[in-house]
C-alpha cells in the first residue's frame, strides 16, 4: 500500500526547475493502475492470464469483447447433482458452482471425482459453465471432454495450489480461475495471478459458510471496484439473499453475484432467478 501511495504521488508530482518535483500527497490507492501485486516468481513479472472473461455490462458497450466469454449475472452455488440439474434447466442460468460439503463425499477422493464428473456431464449437456470450488486436482484428473469450465479457489486452497505447482497445471489445462478475496493483501495476491474473475465477500453476514472476516459492506465493494481492473469481472458473495441486496451490490460495482439461499430456499426457482437477473440490470 505504501508503494501504491508513492507511485501515485510520483505520477502527480509537479516538476520544480530542472529536477524532479516533490512526491505529491495523494490518498489511499483508488485505481488498479497503482495497486501493487505480489510476484510469486520475480523472473516472470507478468504471467499469462487465465481464460479471460467479461461482464455482460462491459460486453454491451465494448466492441473488443467479441472473443471474450461473458460471465453470467448470477452464479448459484450448490452442492448436489440434483440442484445442478434444476439450475441447468432454469432460464437465464449460464454459470453454476459446485461446492461439495457432504463429509461422506469430501472424505473420499473417488466420490469427489465422480460427483464432479456427473455435474460436468449435466452442465455440458445444457450448455452451462461449471465451476468447481477448491477440488482442482480431482477436476484435472477427468478426461479433457469432461473437465469443468473453471475452478474457484479460496485463499487457503489457493496457497496450497501455488505451493504444489497447481497454478501452472490449471493454466496448461486452459481452465478458468476465480479467486476469493477478503483483504487488501489477498487482493494483491489474486491480481498477480490474472484470474478470470475476482470475488469479494462476505458482503453481508452469512450463515452458509464459516468465515474469519466481518461483513465487508458495500463501501468495500466500491473500493474493490476501483482496485480491480475493468477487464476482470468482480463477483460479490455472502448474504446476498434477495433482489434488493442484489441491486445494492450491483450499484456499488459488482458484475456478478454468487448466491445460495436466494435460489435454494425459494418456492418458485424460475421466478426467483428472473428477479435476481433483472435486479442486476
Separation between Cα atoms, residue 26 and residue 13, nearest integer Å: 10
DSSP string, 173-209: TT-EEEEEE-SHHHHHHHHHT--SEEEE--SS--SSS
For position 20, what pLDDT does the model report?
66
| Per-residue confidence band for 57, with pLDDT thresholds at 50, 70 and 90 | confident
The pLDDT tens digits for 167-223 are 999 999 999 999 999 999 999 999 999 999 999 999 999 776 666 778 999 999 999
| Per-residue confidence band for 17, with pLDDT thresholds at 50, 70 and 90 | confident
Separation between Cα atoms, residue 77 and residue 97, nearest integer Å: 5
pTM, two decimal places: 0.93
- What does R_g of the chain's alpha carbons equal in angstroms? 20
Highest-confidence segment of 18-22, 120-124, 161-165: 120-124
The pLDDT tens digits for 96-151 are 999 999 999 999 999 999 999 999 999 999 999 999 999 999 999 999 999 999 99
C-alpha grid cell, residue 50: 487465465
Amino acid at each position: 500500500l505504501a508503494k501504491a501511495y508513492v507511485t501515485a504521488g510520483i505520477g502527480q508530482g509537479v516538476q520544480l526547475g530542472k529536477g524532479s518535483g516533490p512526491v505529491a500527497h495523494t490518498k489511499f490507492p483508488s485505481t488498479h493502475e497503482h495497486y501493487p501485486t505480489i510476484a510469486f516468481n520475480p523472473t516472470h513479472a507478468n504471467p499469462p492470464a487465465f481464460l479471460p472473461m467479461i461482464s455482460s455490462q462491459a460486453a454491451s458497450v465494448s466492441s473488443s469483447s467479441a472473443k471474450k466469454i461473458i460471465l453470467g449475472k448470477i452464479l448459484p452455488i450448490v452442492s448436489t447433482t440434483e440442484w445442478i440439474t434444476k439450475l441447468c434447466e432454469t432460464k437465464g442460468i449460464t454459470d453454476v458452482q459446485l461446492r461439495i460439503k457432504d463429509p461422506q463425499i469430501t472424505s473420499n477422493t473417488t466420490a469427489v471425482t465422480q460427483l464432479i464428473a456427473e455435474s460436468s456431464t449435466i452442465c455440458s449437456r445444457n450448455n452451462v459453465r461449471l465451476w468447481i470450488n477448491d477440488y482442482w486436482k480431482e477436476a484435472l484428473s477427468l478426461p479433457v471432454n469432461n473437465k469443468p469450465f473453471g475452478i474457484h479457489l479460496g485463499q487457503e486452497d489457493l496457497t496450497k495450489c501455488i505451493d504444489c505447482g497447481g497454478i501452472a497445471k490449471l493454466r496448461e489445462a486452459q481452465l478458468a480461475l476465480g479467486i476469493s478475496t477478503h483483504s487488501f493483501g489477498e487482493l494483491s495476491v489474486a491480481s498477480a495471478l490474472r484470474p478470470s474473475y475476482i470475488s469479494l465477500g462476505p458482503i453481508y453476514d452469512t450463515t452458509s459458510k464459516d468465515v474469519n472476516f466481518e461483513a465487508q459492506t458495500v463501501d468495500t465493494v466500491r473500493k474493490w471496484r476501483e482496485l480491480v481492473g475493468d477487464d476482470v469481472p468482480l463477483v460479490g458473495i455472502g448474504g446476498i439473499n434477495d433482489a434488493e441486496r442484489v441491486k445494492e451490490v450491483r450499484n456499488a460495482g459488482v458484475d456478478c453475484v454468487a448466491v445460495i439461499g436466494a435460489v435454494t430456499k425459494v418456492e418458485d426457482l424460475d421466478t426467483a432467478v428472473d428477479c435476481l437477473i433483472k435486479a442486476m440490470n
